[in-house]
């Protein structure tokens, strides 16, 4: 199995890589050829071509961005190698270029987070206040960025009293999240109410920048409320301390899911073309414990140390 990973830019991605490596181990009867693309699509294209040359049985691709895959996936198809896409999606003209995709509903993640924010501000008596928001986006063009930004934009659009002060990519890294936050704080630090970070590592960087600039993080009026995605161990620990007020899950444990797809293909069985994983959300307190999106209820669980200790990542 050849696995092309986006890169090691976040704690989430480390957990994702671990899940793949522990599943596709020699003990389990696999040979895994792992390639870390360092967030560059051209490295992923090279890795896939190498996998084809090495005549692997399956190619697993965690794509950095959605577009630009048609040619290389056609090459894999011509070589008769099934391609399984994980986590983020590819945008291709012909969906027979990949065999199956399993990953997150990134738009739903963003919708849940923004529905939580709406209910939280309402519960705090701030429903009619002017609220200024910042969106530190992920890698532009990645499904995780596209979906989470859509969830953010649609919610801001729906509120006359919400304004986007800044919207800029932090490339899903702590260093860039901090750098972007520092420059936004210089321009409009006193006006910011909410910072929506599109992953935990960006949130860690943003929180450092906010505190260094002399502002307080937290969910009360006068503080800067930080939201995040991923629910890594470190992210949830900062949720427990109240520095992240809401953290929405993006589940990285795709190894066993990909293995199930491969086993079905080996047995000649049909597989789902696309499958979303179930995901949860956590908050630093119990102000809001449920949100409803398109008629479906989603729990928002107040985080505890016990929950953190019981989780796999």
Instruction: Establish if 197 lies at the interface with ligand AHR (CB under 6 A).
Output: no
Instruction: Establish if 87 lies at the interface with ligand AHR (CB under 6 A).
Output: yes
Spatial strand order in the sheet of 281-283: 162-169, 131-137, 194-197, 225-230, 246-249, 281-283, 301-302
Residue 146 and residue 153: Cα distance in Å, rounded? 10
Q: How many alpha carbons lie under 13 Å from residue 10 in its C-beta half-sphere? A: 35
Residue 26 and residue 28: Cα distance in Å, rounded? 5
Instruction: Establish if 144 lies at the interface with ligand AHR (CB under 6 A).
Output: yes
Binds ligand AHR by CB under 6 A, chosen from 135, 230, 249, 279? 230
Binds ligand AHR by CB under 6 A, chosen from 19, 43, 47, 88? 88
Instruction: Establish if 69 lies at the interface with ligand AHR (CB under 6 A).
Output: no
Residue 180, classified by CB atoms within 10 Å of its CB into exposed (0-12), middle (13-18) or buried (19+), is buried
Q: From the CB of 150, what's the least distance to ligand AHR, in Å? A: 15
Quick one: which segment of 10-18, 50-58, 155-163, 260-268 binds ligand AHR (CB under 6 A)? 10-18
Please identify, using beta-carbon distances, which residue of 14 and 164 lies nearer to ligand AHR. 14
Quick one: which segment of 8-16, 29-37, 40-48, 176-184 binds ligand AHR (CB under 6 A)? 8-16
Closest C-alpha to 72, from 2, 168, 151 = 2
Binds ligand AHR by CB under 6 A, chosen from 5, 10, 19, 169? 10
Question: Is there a contact between 84 and 261 (Cβ–Cβ < 8 Å)?
Answer: yes
Where on the chain is the footprint of ligand AHR (CB under 6 A)?
A: 9-10, 12-13, 87-88, 144, 172, 199, 229-230, 250
């Amino acid at each position: 199995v050849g696995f092309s990973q986006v890169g090691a830019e976040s704690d989430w991605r480390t957990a994702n890589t671990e899940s793949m490596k522990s599943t596709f181990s020699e003990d389990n009867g696999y040979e895994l050829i792992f390639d870390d693309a360092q967030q560059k699509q051209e490295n992923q294209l090279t890795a896939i071509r190498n996998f084809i040359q090495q005549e692997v049985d399956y190619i697993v691709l965690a794509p950095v961005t959605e577009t630009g895959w048609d040619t290389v996936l056609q090459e894999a198809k011509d070589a008769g190698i099934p391609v399984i896409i994980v986590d983020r999606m590819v945008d291709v003209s012909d969906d027979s270029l990949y065999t199956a995709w399993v990953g997150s509903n990134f738009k739903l993640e963003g919708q849940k987070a923004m529905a939580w924010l709406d209910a939280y501000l309402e519960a705090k008596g701030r429903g009619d206040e002017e609220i200024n928001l910042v969106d530190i986006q992920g890698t532009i063009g990645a499904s995780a960025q596209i979906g989470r930004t859509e969830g953010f934009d649609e919610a801001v659009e729906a509120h006359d009293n919400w304004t986007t002060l800044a919207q800029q990519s932090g490339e899903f890294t702590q260093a860039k999240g901090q750098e972007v936050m520092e420059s936004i704080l210089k321009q409009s630090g006193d006006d910011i109410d909410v910072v929506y970070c599109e992953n935990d590592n960006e949130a860690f960087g943003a929180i450092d920048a906010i505190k260094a600039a002399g502002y307080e993080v937290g969910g009360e009026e006068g503080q800067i409320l930080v939201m995040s995605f991923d629910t890594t161990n470190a992210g949830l620990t900062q949720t427990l301390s109240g520095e992240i007020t809401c953290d929405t899950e993006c589940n990285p444990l795709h190894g066993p899911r990909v293995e199930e797809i491969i086993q079905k293909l080996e047995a000649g069985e049909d597989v789902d073309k696309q499958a979303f994983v179930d995901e949860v959300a956590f908050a630093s307190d119990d102000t809001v414990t449920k949100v409803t999106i398109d008629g479906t209820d989603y729990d928002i669980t107040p985080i505890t140390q016990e929950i953190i200790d019981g989780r796999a990542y």
